[in-house]
């Protein structure tokens, strides 16, 4: 009887992991396909708040509620476990998506700053 409960818990956590991975990939992919706002820093921060709110707060809370509703015993433990697994998956996917987005931005819009040579560099002394 104990092994059946343990197997059921492992399958539940695997199902939560797989479903949060699918939802996370779909959400991060959807957000990466949206046009990006190119403006001042505060405008970009304000646009990113919705992305962060939905990805880091709302989706894990929904997974926690679903884990609470569909579990048969130890509901609060399953709810916190579902929340934690979903939060960890979403954090990893959102960090990876943000890093990819920053790399694409750097590739498409390279820096226009001219290199500055220090006053004691040999290259500057030659000119």
| pLDDT at residue 7 in the model | 45
Closest by CA position to 61, among listed 79, 76, 42 = 79
Closest by CA position to 81, among listed 94, 93, 66 = 66
Average pLDDT rounded to a whole number, residues 50-67 = 89
* Per-residue model confidence as pLDDT tens digits over 88-113: 999 999 999 988 888 888 888 887 77
Give the domain ranges of the chain.
2-111
**pLDDT at residue 23 greater than cutoff 60:** yes
**pLDDT, the chain, mean:** 81
> What is the rounded radius of gyration, in angstroms, for the C-alpha atoms of the chain?
23
**pLDDT at residue 15 greater than cutoff 90:** no
SS (H, E, C) 49-98: HHHHHHHHHHHHHHHHHHHHHHCCCCHHHHHHHHHHHHHHHHHHHHHHHH
Which residue bears the tokens 């059946």? Answer: 4
């Amino acid at each position: 009887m104990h092994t059946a409960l343990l197997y059921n818990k492992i399958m539940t956590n695997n199902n939560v992991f797989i479903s949060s991975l699918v939802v996370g990939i779909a959400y991060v992919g959807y957000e990466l396909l949206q046009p990006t706002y190119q403006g001042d820093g505060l405008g970009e921060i304000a646009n990113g708040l919705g992305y962060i709110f939905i990805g880091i707060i709302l989706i894990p809370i929904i997974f926690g509620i679903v884990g609470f509703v569909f579990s048969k015993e130890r509901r609060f433990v399953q709810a916190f476990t579902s929340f934690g697994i979903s939060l960890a998956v979403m954090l990893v996917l959102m960090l990876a998506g943000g890093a990819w987005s920053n790399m694409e931005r750097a590739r498409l819009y390279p820096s226009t700053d001219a290199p500055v040579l220090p006053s004691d560099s040999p290259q500057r002394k030659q000119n």
